Structure 1
Amino acid sequence: MSWQNRFKSFIKEPQNIILIVLFILMSFLTLLPLVSLIRDTLIAHPSELMSIKGAKAGDFTLFHWYKVFFDGKNSKNLFYSPFWNTVKVSIGSCVIAIGLGGTVAWLVARSDIRFKSIISTIFVFPYIMPSWTLAMAWLNFFRNAYIGGKPGLFTALTGIETANWFAYGQFPIIVVTGLHYAPFAYILIGGILQNMDANLEEAAMLLKASRMKIIRKVTLPIVMPAIFSAFLLTFASSMSAFAVPAFLGTPVRYYVLTTQLYRTLNGVNQGYGYVLAVVMLAVGLFVLAFNQWFVGKRKSFTTVTGKSSQVSLVKLRGARTPISAGVLFMLLLIAILPLVSFAVESFTMVTGNYNPSNFTSIFWLGKGSTDIANGEPGILRNKYIYLGLWNSIKLSVCCAFVAGTAGVLCGYAVVKRRGSRLSGVVNSLAFFPYLMPAMAFGAIYLSMFTQKNGFIPPLYGTFTLLVLIGSVKYLPFASRAGVNAMLQLSNEIEEAAVIQGVSWWKRMVKIIFPIQKTSFLSGYLLPFISCMRELSLFILLVTPANRVLTTQLFQYNEKGWNQYANAINLLIIVVVLFFNLVINKLTGASIDKGIGGS
């Protein structure tokens, strides 16, 4: 067959056209921005010309790399201290996340603890809610008069002034980040524990091994890949976190890579920020590549070939009720009490004063007063808040539609051409944005789209740029859902329609999508929820014209308008939980299914 005939035969298949289009688009939207980012670390920027002697804008220079890595004390303050702070925070967060998440996962999946369904549902709340929720709650409870201006609830109730190290900086960042990602570890480890073959444990019991020895010698080795994956993925997520270090570290000048990146890109030395973004990206890629290698290696040691029909649950005996009540109480402190603190703080006229006479609704419904926050009206009477809410919903819908549709097409084409080199490349490119820290990804797009690229005009400051970066960043969620859905679908169904002469478009709309509707919808809904609560990805790219609720909250907090910030935070949480509830009711999807009890 001649190459012309092979080419005609190739382009007749819809999946081949989809793969080619996706390859071109994803190369442009992921690989080209990466090249643009590296380029911007090697050129002089207009705002830096006073620092780089004799240079003109666009000239080649190694100035930024030298200043970041080899400039003595300046390099220490600019990079090395924030880098080691990031490592310490990430490791500490992993210990808390895996310790707490793994313990609760074991109790729910392998013991007879009470309230399994309630615990499983409540435990994922911190993961559904925005990442800074617990950070603001921590400030509400533990801020002190030395830095916070007014004491928090803890000091108001006990009279004890909290120390700076406890209220701000490394310790609270580790605790809060660990608590936020504990549900992530719980989901990963709990899924393995729930579906784990119990034959080995039962054999150990027959040999009279103690329960602790069974856990140490049998259970832990089996779930070790999940624990290690949880550690590495939590480490990567903690390293790229911005909101929690910004809220808790900035008041005492405790910087990590993300907050340092934000400072440099909003200052006069943007090149420093681009170098930091490259470092963050390299570390993230290394951590996640190492995770893939480790998990792949461990798969070769699989020894379990069947699943026992019955799982022998550990009897907690007399400790059952106290442990159940203790876990439930702890979860209420983590998931429910923060919401109460936001409500209380948003109704106090003077922060730190909790007398009934001090409560007011002015920060929700007030018209605005010149002696309060420069005359800022209450959030329910503030047109800019409604603009931010509308922008958030509009942005989430657009990102969900673009990412979800691309994910469905990607899943269809990748599975149909499974095993081919083009399919593998497109599948990898679609997953690549997940490996990039959100702040670094925002820096990449800031670098690329502040100027004209070929026929594409500068996009900085436009709503289009937010939709573009959100769609690309959340494509991995949608593409995974699309691939999984298509892998479950037999080829015979579509082949029967092809024999009947049904067009590809009609096959997709009338057959494939309806059959796998629930799985495909998750590819639309996950980006929607994620976008509604996103801050790190958009913080470098928003302008006053296209602000969203999350960036408004951050700006209010920076100005010290705590009551407004708490009110907006509560509004965001209510909106996110509302949409999450609607999504679960419409699709039946639940993040904790398969882990908890009924």
Structure 2
Amino acid sequence: MSINLQTNSTFNHWRNYLKKPQNAILVLLGIVLSFATIFPMVTIWLDTISIHAGSVDAQVSGRQAGYTLYNWIDIISGRLARRNFWIPLQNTVLLSVLACLVAICFGGVFAYLITRTDMKAKKYLSNIFIFPYVMPQWTLAVVWQNMFYSKAVTGGSDGLLAALTGIKMPLWWCQGLFPTALVLGIHYAAFAYILVGGIFRNMDANLEEAATILNTPKYKIFFRITLPMVQPAILSTVLLVFSSAMGSYPVPHYLNFTTLATKYVDLNVNRAGQASALAVIMMLFGIAILLFNQLATGGRKSFTTVTGKSGQASKFNLGIGKYVIPVFLVVFTFFTSIFPVISFALETFLPNPGDYSFFRTWNTSNLTVKWWMNNTGTAGSMYGQKGILFNSTIWYAFFGTILVAVSCAFLAGTIGLLVGYCVSKNRRSRFAAYVNSIAFLPYLLPSLAVGVAFFVFGSRAGLYNTYILLIIAGTIKYIPFASRASLNSMLQISGEIEESAIIHNIPWFKRMTRIIIPIQKSAILSGYLLPLMTCIRELTLFMMLCAQTKLLTLLLDYFDEMGLYAFSAGINLMLIVFVIICNMAVNKLTGASLDKGIGGN
């Protein structure tokens, strides 16, 4: 009898719990997200110990199926371990660390100049600064090639600098660690600008004012007071930049720098299990940097920066620097934000893309429109391809990109909205905290590692080279954008608003569509549009999941392999213009902007 009573009590408890829509949806999301996130990770780990038919592990073991530790042993201590693992690992860590330093120094200093000084042209500089992040990641890498490559040093045609001035930059400047770290650092500097700038703008001035009254030198105030107060923002920037740089493929690929990501592509054919081991190691780095961030900002430390007891500190007077510094920044941001568009457009009119020798005589009669307008595909230099405007392969990939981006944005935005709503309604629940964490986890993992996990999963599930697999991978990867935007907005809504609707017996769906969503429509709409913009310019996540002709970003490598660099430049131009248009649409529709509220507007 007691067992029956206990069973009935448990049943009634769960029935009453699941009667609330937010609880039922939370349980469903917990199951779906756990499977969609954890199962591919387990699959890729199993792939590291599986024997692959036709691969090295099959030759060594003499079997075509089963399990072995050979892949782990050989990748760490085998004859080729130094070339296949240790050197790429060392390069990857160095690249990630240097990219963090560049992003923090560049973005942090820029944030300080915008928020705490009397520098001129703040609005323009603040808007233009985030352009390198809005544009595809490899944009600056290709621009670097067009600027500094030369026939004598890197082979091929002379870039702009060599063509115009005859100056030939050394190889370490053109390729390798230095340009790769610099390009990635500039690309991710927007993280530091947003995070550090937000703290600088809202920082309580009491401590700095007290130090000033005590005649403390300004450099001591900056290093002993100001910098420690922005420590959480710096650590968050390290978390985001380190994991993103570690999984970056296109920038090291274009600038000829060997990392774990590029080595994975090299090993994936003949050493598939060892390639999967590299992806697992990248995942572990992402988790480790997250744990380090939690330990560094945890405990009894206090990082309060807003108290309500003091206004913003007075702006630092730069003197003549308030005119000189913005001139330098305007020139610099021209080359990182505006020049790429000009460069790619110019490439599509050169008879031999990448060859700027005609600038020596300024003979523009050699320019051509064949890369855009050729409608026959008979030109020998075009390898049977029609011009960009008439090329069905390009437009098929373009519409495929739009299909995947819109689908991922809709699914990620909707799931993220529900995650934010349910977690905000169950904020004291451990299960809600778990669902919130599992929804955010894919963002902390390198894109290539997530892509590899879904590649292994999709291959075994028969989904490889399908739009379904692309949409699933993109949705899981971009849910964090929507869930964080939704959660932050939902926490601002008082529970009394929905309770009054419940009293009037308004169904849950109507409460969401007529009350909750309209109140926070700007933040919720951003949760849909941000995944859309990111998915359009995504390469690393999708590069292993389908053929090169399915998506516009993947088509770049296809045309590069064919030697049709004008087509690559044209696709880059299409992506940049389309993403910028989407970014402007986000600002227009939602009023949201990456730099808004920091000091630029």
Category of TM-score, reference length = shorter chain: over 0.9
Residues 556, 562 of structure 1: 8 Å contact kept: yes
Note the 1:488-527 alignment, pairs <5 A. Answer: 488-527=492-531
Residues 43, 57 of structure 1: 8 Å contact kept: no
* 2:282 is the alignment partner of 1:274: no
Structure 1 CA distance, aligned partners of 2:196 and 2:562?
A: 40
Displacement of 1:49: 6.1
Residues 110, 312 of structure 1: 8 Å contact kept: yes
- Across the two proteins, how many residue pairs are aligned to each other? 586
* 2:487 is the alignment partner of 1:479: no
Per-residue CA deviation, residues 367-398 of structure 1 (Å, 9 max, x unaligned), is 33342131222211111111111111111110
* 2:169 is the alignment partner of 1:162: yes
Q: 1:113 to 1:297 in 2, by over 3 A?
A: farther
Per-residue CA deviation, residues 491-535 of structure 1 (Å, 9 max, x unaligned), is 101100111111111111111111111111111111101101000
Structure 2 CA distance, aligned partners of 1:229 and 1:24?
A: 29
Unaligned stretches of 5+ residues in structure 1: 453-457
Displacement of 1:258: 0.6
Q: Which residue of 1 aligns with 2:287?
A: 285
Structure 1 CA distance, aligned partners of 2:315 and 2:25?
A: 49
Residues 142, 155 of structure 1: 8 Å contact kept: yes
Structure 1 CA distance, aligned partners of 2:562 and 2:99?
A: 28
* 2:186 is the alignment partner of 1:179: yes
Question: Structure 1 vs Structure 2: percent identity of aligned residues?
Answer: 44
AA paired with 2:595? D
SS at match of 2:298: helix
Displacement of 1:417: 1.4
SS at match of 1:2: helix
Note the 1:162-561 alignment, pairs <5 A. Answer: 162-249=169-256, 254-265=257-268, 267-297=269-299, 299-300=301-302, 302=304, 305-350=307-352, 351-352=354-355, 353-354=357-358, 355-367=363-375, 368-452=377-461, 458-543=462-547, 547-561=550-564
Note the 1:39-118 alignment, pairs <5 A. Answer: 39-48=46-55, 51-72=58-79, 74-118=80-124
SS at match of 1:268: coil
Displacement of 1:482: 1.5
Q: Which residue of 1 aligns with 2:575?
A: 572
Displacement of 1:358: 2.3
SS at match of 1:541: coil
Per-residue CA deviation, residues 418-440 of structure 1 (Å, 9 max, x unaligned), is 11122111111111111211111
Residues 287, 445 of structure 2: 8 Å contact kept: yes
Structure 1 CA distance, aligned partners of 2:469 and 2:453?
A: 12
Per-residue CA deviation, residues 176-208 of structure 1 (Å, 9 max, x unaligned), is 111111122111111110111111112222222
* 2:592 is the alignment partner of 1:589: yes
Q: 1:544 to 1:85 in 2, by over 3 A?
A: closer
Displacement of 1:211: 2.6
Structure 2 CA distance, aligned partners of 1:132 and 1:512?
A: 39
Structure 2 CA distance, aligned partners of 1:294 and 1:305?
A: 22
Q: Tell me whether 181-190 or 463-472 shows the greater mean CA deviation.
A: 181-190
Q: 1:50 to 1:61 in 2, by over 3 A?
A: closer
Displacement of 1:4: 2.3
Displacement of 1:341: 1.3
Q: 1:464 to 1:417 in 2, by over 3 A?
A: same
Per-residue CA deviation, residues 317-348 of structure 1 (Å, 9 max, x unaligned), is 12221112112221112111122111112211
* 2:153 is the alignment partner of 1:136: no
SS at match of 1:214: helix
SS at match of 1:282: helix
Displacement of 1:18: 0.6
Structure 2 CA distance, aligned partners of 1:426 and 1:57?
A: 39
Displacement of 1:51: 4.9
Structure 2 CA distance, aligned partners of 1:393 and 1:51?
A: 40
Q: 1:50 to 1:203 in 2, by over 3 A?
A: closer
AA paired with 1:504? W
Q: Tell me whether 412-421 or 161-170 shows the greater mean CA deviation.
A: 161-170
Residues 548, 555 of structure 2: 8 Å contact kept: no
Residues 140, 345 of structure 1: 8 Å contact kept: no
Per-residue CA deviation, residues 402-461 of structure 1 (Å, 9 max, x unaligned), is 001101111111111111122111111111111211111111011112123xxxxx1111
Displacement of 1:292: 2.3
Unaligned stretches of 5+ residues in structure 2: 1-7
